[in-house]
Amino acid sequence: MTLTAAPLPKPSPADVAVRSLFTDPAVPADPYPVYRVLRDTAPVHRSMTGHWVLSRHADIDAVLRCAGAGKSLEAFIAGQQVPDWRRHESFTRMLDHLIWLNPPRHTRLRQLLGSVLTPRAVARYEPQIQARVAELLDPLAGGGDVDLLDVLAFPLPVAVIGTMLGVPCEDWPIFRRLVRDVTLCVEPSPTADQLALADAAARELNAYFDALIAERRARPRDDMISMLVAAEIDGESLTEGELSSLVQFLFGAGFETTTNLIGNGMLALLRQPDQLAALRAAPDLIAGAVEELLRFDASVQLTMRTAFEDLTVGDHVVPAGASMLLLLGSANRDPARYEDPDRVDVTRASVRPLSFSAGIHFCLGAALARLEGRVAFTELLRRFGRIELRKDAPRWKSNLTLHGLEELPVRLTPA
Ligand code: HEM
């Protein structure tokens, strides 16, 4: 008797798309074709690893605002299929992260920061941001060939958040690599090599910030770390874990994403010269243009939620306990929400990208990031009459979740 194995079911287009999203190193540079396949064929898709992958704007927006979904680091890691995750410092350091907490602790911690980062409070930093941009761009007044990430997109945001928190400026450069590496652990399916890099970076970051916090505890200054060391919730100080997590998260979230806004946004404009010209001709379009650039190529491509109860999403029931990956970058390109979504249009009306998320975890730094983006793009266009890309395909980082360029080589010609 001959036994013939039953043929394996053919993977669906969505299975193939998700596999490439999780494993193809070319995808972080341009995930949008993969998102299109998912939106068109299986917008609520249970992946082979167990994550539910959501790609439509309406579904993602609804889940972000829904009380039946929240945060569970453990459920997310189960979907990543990382065994024995407590061995990894990159994961354990996130246990107290604001972004992984649920109410009521989340609400209380957020209240601590709310007043510091409101649009009104942040507006006071505008002169300092202008001065920092001038300090960075004045030496380039004669133009020349530069990497825009090295000269502006990284040094501006790291200086802004570094100064607010009180992180010594001589140390800022090392954080470019450390934060890029540590965030590899929130990739949808990190490899062993990525986790090793993330863990090594986590160890360095923990040691650095523990020492800095101890120093501020001993000798407080007029900065946010000292403010958080002294802060109390219901008469109690933050735990050591909460304090270190909060400071590290604020610092990393404060620059990495904004670096990517300036880098990804400038690349998008350089690839659509008509839109660059439109913005040059009408600089007062800048606020809307920043929203459009945030939409077009979001610096946070995905976030996670866990179903706390059975949730009906589209035509599916996502069972309680399941981890969902919400593809914010795909929501922003959903043709059901935006006409001609794959084009930048700096005059587009009613752009409200999900790039800063929505609901109770809406980005606390949105006002600051928008302000930095406005100042950076305005000054670049005002000072340089021509900005040309020197490489058709600049290198991207291997991260998909925190999506940004590794380099942006340009030629600047003064106005
Ligand atoms: C273009 C720049 C930025 C982008 C695209 C961005 C994006 C995001 C996203 C998507 C989330 C929420 C994720 C979720 O719902 O799970 C978030 C949360 C957060 N962001 Fe940002 N961010 C940016 C800049 C900043 C800056 C400059 C700061 C700090 C000054 C910051 C601080 C935070 C904090 C504290 C949270 C946690 C909020 C919470 O969990 O309640 N972000 N950000």
Predicted confidence (pLDDT) per residue in 150-169, tens digit: 999 999 999 999 999 999 99
Cβ of residue 136 lying under 6 Å from some atom of ligand 1: no
CA distances from 176 to 11, 133, 184 (A): 39, 18, 13
Q: For residue 231, how far is its CA from the centre of ligand 1 (angstroms)?
A: 21
Q: For residue 402, how far is its CA from the centre of ligand 1 (angstroms)?
A: 11
Cβ of residue 301 lying under 6 Å from some atom of ligand 1: no
Handedness of CA 26, 157, 279, 337 (dihedral sign): positive
Entry pTM: 0.96
Taking CA atoms only, the protein residue closest to ligand 1 atom 27 is 254
Percent of the chain surpassing pLDDT 70: 98
Q: For residue 250, how far is its CA from the centre of ligand 1 (angstroms)?
A: 8
For residues 410 and 389, give the distance between their C-alpha atoms in angstroms, rounded to a whole number. Answer: 5
Predicted pLDDT at 1:
57
Count the neighbouring beta carbons within 10 Å of the beta carbon of residue 340.
Answer: 9
- Asked whether 73 and 332 are in contact (CB, 8 A), the reply is no
The one-letter amino acid code at 104 reads P
Average of per-residue pLDDT across 314-326? 97
Cβ of residue 300 lying under 6 Å from some atom of ligand 1: yes
| pLDDT band per the 50, 70, 90 thresholds, residue 234 | confident
Handedness of CA 246, 111, 332, 313 (dihedral sign): positive
Backbone angles phi, psi at 161, to 5 degrees: -75, -35
Q: For residue 300, how far is its CA from the centre of ligand 1 (angstroms)?
A: 9
Burial 130-169 (b: 16+ CB within 10 A, else e): eebbeebbeebeebeebbbbebbbbbbbbbbbbbbbbbee
Predicted pLDDT at 6:
72
Q: For residue 366, how far is its CA from the centre of ligand 1 (angstroms)?
A: 7
Predicted pLDDT at 357:
98
For residues 298 and 32, give the distance between their C-alpha atoms in angstroms, rounded to a whole number. Answer: 11
CB-count burial class (<10 Å; 0-12, 13-18, 19+) for 111? exposed
Average of per-residue pLDDT across 255-259? 97
Q: For residue 361, how far is its CA from the centre of ligand 1 (angstroms)?
A: 8
CA distances from 120 to 5, 95, 126, 133, 368 (A): 67, 31, 11, 21, 10
Q: Candidates 164, 257, 266, 301: which one to mutate for ligand 1, based on the most atoms within 8 Å of Cβ? A: 257
User: Is omega for the bond preceding 104 within 30 degrees of 0, making it cis?
Assistant: yes
pLDDT at 381 over 70: yes
Cβ of residue 45 lying under 6 Å from some atom of ligand 1: no
The one-letter amino acid code at 376 reads A
Q: Which of 195, 258, 245, 261 is nearest to 398 (CA)?
A: 195
Handedness of CA 267, 273, 274, 280 (dihedral sign): positive
Taking CA atoms only, the protein residue closest to ligand 1 atom 42 is 365
